[in-house]
Amino acid sequence: MITGKNYIGNTTTANGNKTFKTFNPQKNIENEWTFTEATSAEVNKACELATEAFKTYSKVSGAKKAEFLRAIATEIENLGEELLNVYCLESGLPAGRAGGERGRTLGQLRAFANHVEEGNWVEATIDTAQPEREPMPRVDLRKMNVSLGPVVVFGASNFPLAFSTAGGDTAAAFAAGCPVIVKSHPMHAGTGELVASAIIKAAEKTGMPNGVFSNLNSSGIEVGQELVQNPKVKAVAFTGSLKGGRALYDLAGKRDEPIPVFAEMGSINPVVILPKALENRASDIAKTYAGSITLGTGQFCTNPGLILGIKSAGLTNFVNTLAEEIVNIEPSCMLHPNIAGTYEKNKDKALSQNGIDVLGAHSENVKPNFAKQVVTTVQGKTFLENSTLHHEVFGPYSLVVQCKDEAELREITSKLEGQLTGTVISDDNEISNYVNLIHELENRVGRIIFNGVPTGVEVCASMLHGGPYPASTDSRFTAVGVDSIKRFVRPFSFQDWPNDLLPAELKNSNPLGILRTVDGKKITDKI
Ligand code: NAP
């Protein structure tokens, strides 16, 4: 049941007087529930409880954390149809997407459970003492990853489940041994509350400390800012716009004790179509890309917002087909009137730039909050000279840049801002003729794709979802897959520490049987 209250650990409270409602963009009406924004006192209480919980939760075994993570997945499943219904009412997304995203969320939680149960993620490294070493004896040193402390999670508007309350960031932080305080996304506060109730049930059932999780409502930026500035908070995970991510990153940097902000932000995901591919299959590529540009109403951080090619008959064929295909796709609903409004504003700004030509645009009347898709084109030189054209238009929009030659294509690629993904469409072995171009692209992105589309982010250990700034604030980490746990840990060394007092991961007997690097060798043996 949705109460509209905040979860401060195991207690629900609504002490504030600022309230708000979520919105049904399909029906263009407010939803029935009223949410109460967290007060400063509630923010502080959540942070205090999280710090208290950290004392015990950071020491909980991998097996117990796995039990907790699996229980969260089960409790989310137990929410049944109610969760999926609220998801659809608050996002305008179809039921199939709701079910799919729930599956992904459960899969992430269970993947982290397996990861911490197996235990190798602590990267235990042991250099045993060498008392006889000359000229100086060597001390015994043992290093492993330990948890950072309370983590604040800002969920994304466009993934109410998989990148939100119990999404990848929360699962990773729990797996790392960090309590989590979620700053609930105001567009899907009801979905968030239902998931929060599942997390609290799971925490109670598996004996986790009160304060291991809190969920705070807010409809403005104040609660999030207070959380980031609270001295008890030790790291932040954010998924959203460049503007929001950068503001929080700067705020965290100004604290007396600066903390890391792992912000995954917008991206235009350049797609380079090489000449032979254009010559041989321009129409097919255009059809595929019309689908990718409009998938999920273009509301994916991996949406292909920029397509690059060298002028040729093939490129003309590509833009003509893309123009035809894009208008035939039925417009769909955006997540919220604000997102739809920002799309219109950013689209108009892009369209008003000198040298921009519209290739194809859906022009018929659409229902409120539905997005009309547009593809545009520009010459390479104009693109290079106008940085506005390099910015994300979040929605079903893409720009085709027509380069005069390979040198211009390479120059554009080298001057792009950091991106989540880059895609190369190539035929035969032509890619091997573009080594320098590919090098430039690799330098600008976190993931490079061959003959595919950037939309669709597989959740697995080898996925890198991040990239050079501004795609993310720290390109060394991924926000998707089990390696995302590394954002919430720090390496820690014990020197000559008594064996009995060492954590199980570093004891001589290796009771957990994990893989450790002992005196330079990777082994599971005891010492
Ligand atoms: P958003 O406007 O940045 O909001 C995200 C969250 O941050 C909201 O809870 C918002 O709170 C809060 N926030 C924003 N600015 C803030 C500030 N200055 N101080 C404190 N809190 C602030 O983003 P969105 O509209 O939800 O999401 C769309 C964007 O996310 C797109 O740019 C998309 O590309 C990006 N995205 C990136 C990824 C990725 O993995 N890289 C994934 C999905 C989406 P309020 O709403 O209460 O103001």
- CATH 3.60.110.10, applies to 270-450: no
- For the chain, give every domain's residue range: 6-265+478-487, 270-450
Kindly give the distance from the C-alpha atom of residue 152 to the centroid of ligand 1, in angstroms, as a whole number: 14
The pLDDT score that the predictor gives to residue 481 is 97
Kindly give the distance from the C-alpha atom of residue 244 to the centroid of ligand 1, in angstroms, as a whole number: 6
The answer to whether 393 and 346 have CB atoms below 8 angstroms apart is yes
For 352, other C-beta atoms within 10 Å of its C-beta total: 9
Choosing from 47, 301, 333, 403, which is the catalytic residue? 301
The answer to whether 262 and 476 have CB atoms below 8 angstroms apart is no
Active site residue 301: yes
Kindly give the distance from the C-alpha atom of residue 125 to the centroid of ligand 1, in angstroms, as a whole number: 38
**Protein residue whose Cα sits closest to atom 38 of ligand 1:** 301
Give domain 6-265+478-487's CATH number out of 3.10.20.30, 3.20.20.10, 3.40.605.10, 3.40.50.300. 3.40.605.10
Kindly give the distance from the C-alpha atom of residue 202 to the centroid of ligand 1, in angstroms, as a whole number: 28
Give the confidence band of 20 by pLDDT, cuts at 50, 70, 90: very high
Q: Taking Cα atoms as reference points, which of 173, 197, 166 lies closest to residue 102?
A: 166
Kindly give the distance from the C-alpha atom of residue 341 to the centroid of ligand 1, in angstroms, as a whole number: 15
Residues 467-493 have a mean pLDDT of 98
pLDDT digits (tens, 9 = 90+) for 246-298: 999 999 999 999 999 999 998 999 999 999 999 999 999 999 999 999 999 99
Evaluate if residue 92 carries a pLDDT over 90: yes
DSSP-assigned beta bridge partners for residue 263: 238
Report residue 522: phi and psi, to 5°.
Answer: -85, 110
pLDDT digits (tens, 9 = 90+) for 269-283: 999 999 999 999 999
pLDDT digits (tens, 9 = 90+) for 150-190: 999 998 999 999 999 999 999 999 999 999 999 999 999 99
Active site residue 264: yes
SS3 labels along 27-79: CCEECCCCEECCCHHHHHHHHHHHHHHHHHHCCCCHHHHHHHHHHHHHHHHHC
Q: Work out which ligand 1 atom sits closest to the CA atom of 187.
A: 46
**Protein residue whose Cα sits closest to atom 30 of ligand 1:** 240
Burial letters 321-347, b for 16+ CB under 10 A, else e: bbbebbbebebbbbbbeebbebbeebb
Report residue 398: phi and psi, to 5°.
Answer: -150, 150
- What does pLDDT average to over the chain? 97
Best probe residue, ligand 1, of 20, 163, 301 (max atoms within 8 Å of C-beta): 301
Encoded amino acid at 378, one letter:
V
Q: Work out which ligand 1 atom sits closest to the CA atom of 465.
A: 40
**Protein residue whose Cα sits closest to atom 34 of ligand 1:** 266
**Two structure tokens written together for 324:** 């035809």
Query: 394: Cβ below 6 Å to ligand 1?
Result: yes
Query: 392: Cβ below 6 Å to ligand 1?
Result: yes
The pLDDT score that the predictor gives to residue 219 is 94
SS3 labels along 129-174: CECCCCCCCECCEEEEEEECCCEEEECCCCCCCCCCCCCHHHHHHH
Q: How far apart are CA 505 and CA 511, in angstroms?
A: 7
Kindly give the distance from the C-alpha atom of residue 408 to the centroid of ligand 1, in angstroms, as a whole number: 33
Q: Work out which ligand 1 atom sits closest to the CA atom of 225.
A: 20
Sign of CA dihedral 467, 471, 476, 480: negative
pLDDT digits (tens, 9 = 90+) for 357-382: 999 999 889 999 999 999 999 999 99
Q: Work out which ligand 1 atom sits closest to the CA atom of 301.
A: 34
Choosing from 264, 325, 392, 505, which is the catalytic residue? 264
The model carries a pTM of 0.97
Kindly give the distance from the C-alpha atom of residue 315 to the centroid of ligand 1, in angstroms, as a whole number: 35
Best probe residue, ligand 1, of 21, 101, 154, 157 (max atoms within 8 Å of C-beta): 157
Q: Work out which ligand 1 atom sits closest to the CA atom of 184.
A: 9
Give the confidence band of 500 by pLDDT, cuts at 50, 70, 90: very high
Query: 145: Cβ below 6 Å to ligand 1?
Result: no
Evaluate if residue 428 carries a pLDDT over 90: no
Q: Taking Cα atoms as reference points, which of 476, 490, 487 lies closest to residue 180?
A: 487
Residues 304-315 have a mean pLDDT of 98
Residues 500-512 have a mean pLDDT of 98
Residues 22-38 have a mean pLDDT of 98
Of the CA atoms within 13 Å of residue 131, those in its CB half-sphere come to 1
The answer to whether 56 and 221 have CB atoms below 8 angstroms apart is no
Q: How far apart are CA 389 and CA 392, in angstroms?
A: 8
Three-state DSSP class for residue 84: helix
DSSP assigned state of 410: H
